[in-house]
Amino acid sequence: MDDIAADPSHPRYASLLMRHRLEVAARKGMLADSAMIAHGRGEAFDYLLGERTTDSAARAARQALATLQAAERPVLSINGNVAALACDEMLQLANHLSCPVEVNIFYRTPERMEAILDHMNERNQALGLTVPVLGHAPDAQIPGLKGPRAACHRDGLLNSDAVLVPLEDGDRCNALVAMGKSVVVVDLNPLSRSAQQGTITIVDEVSRALNAMLELARVEGEVQVDPSYDHAAVLNEGLAEMLASLKR
């Protein structure tokens, strides 16, 4: 899947690999027209972070994993960029949590839904996993949202108690929070509406954030929810870490 021309010793290999994954996904018809713009914005923030998982992001990832593990009906939401950049990690985390993934895209067309669902199902099989992949037959609407972006599965996002929503649109994040769910956001922009409104926000590149959670699960198994976790304080720390890099 990752046969790129660049050598792994290249200093920007990880970044080149992510761009390559997006190019492949674009050719398969998985991406929104604005996917590259969204990615470019993320890259700019990641540059300020030093393209690494910061201390505050690691703490958020721990709380996120604990919250998803403690949930009764967690669901992991997949959009075009996430399917392109971190499909395997999303499936592996869903497998660890014994929960479904649900393809739920902002710019919804039948062609994109089919391309993303096919990709997820192919990778599920290639990894030898049997994670339920939802999104093919939405039978419910997220309250408070209009149009195709509200479509979801009753047995998936609608009745979940905790959701992981990487690179999420602000309106939809808000609507999920308003439903009383624990909403775990992954977003490199600590100032985005989703980052601000989420219950827990991991300010990190999506594949790094997911790998941090998978590693924690592998090493520690069950992780405890920290009752004193302060979303706003952790988010501000992420912002401070970026601002500090501008002064260096």
Other C-beta atoms within 10 Å of 16: how many?
A: 16
Least separation in angstroms between CB 224 and ligand PTJ: 26
State the number of binding residues for ligand PTJ (CB under 6 A): 24
Q: Which is nearer to ligand PTJ, 6 or 191 (CB)?
A: 191
107, 114, 118, 132: which one binds ligand PTJ (CB under 6 A):
107
Using rule CB under 6 A, residue 201 touches ligand PTJ? no
Q: How far is the CB of 31 from ligand PTJ (least distance, A)?
A: 7
Among 169, 171, 237, 241, binds ligand PTJ (CB under 6 A): 169
Instruction: Report whether 108 contacts 149 (CB < 8 A).
Output: yes
Beta carbon nearer to ligand PTJ, 177 or 225: 177
Determine which residue in the list 56, 124, 192, 201 makes contact with ligand PTJ, applying CB under 6 A. 192
Our finding on whether 53 is near ligand PTJ (CB under 6 A) is: no
Interface region with ligand PTJ, contact rule CB under 6 A, candidates 99-107, 127-135, 136-144, 156-164: 99-107
Residue 32 or 142: the one with the smaller Cβ distance to ligand PTJ is: 32
Examine residue 205 and tell whether it contacts ligand PTJ (CB under 6 A).
yes
Q: Which of 39, 59, 62, 153 binds ligand PTJ (CB under 6 A)?
A: 39
Three-state secondary structure string covering the chain = CCCCCCCCCCCCHHHHHHHHHHHHHHHCCCCCCCHHHHHHHHHHHHHHHCCCCCHHHHHHHHHHHHHHHHCCCEEEEECHHHHHHHHHHHHHHHHHHCCCEEECCCCCCHHHHHHHHHHHHHHHHHCCCCCCEECCCCCEECCCCCCHHHEECHHHHHCCCEEEEECCCHHHHHHHHHCCCEEEEECCCCCCHHHHHCCEEECCCHHHHHHHHHHHHHHHCCCCCCCCCCHHHHHHHHHHHHHHHHHC
**Residue 206 in the binding site for ligand PTJ (CB under 6 A):** yes
Q: Residues with Cβ < 8 Å from 8, sequence gap 6 or more?
A: none
Q: Which is nearer to ligand PTJ, 107 or 229 (by Cβ)?
A: 107
The reply on whether position 186 binds ligand PTJ by CB under 6 A is yes
Nearest distance in Å: CB 97, ligand PTJ = 20
Query: Using CB under 6 A, which of the segments 3-11, 66-74, 125-133, 181-189 binds ligand PTJ?
Result: 181-189
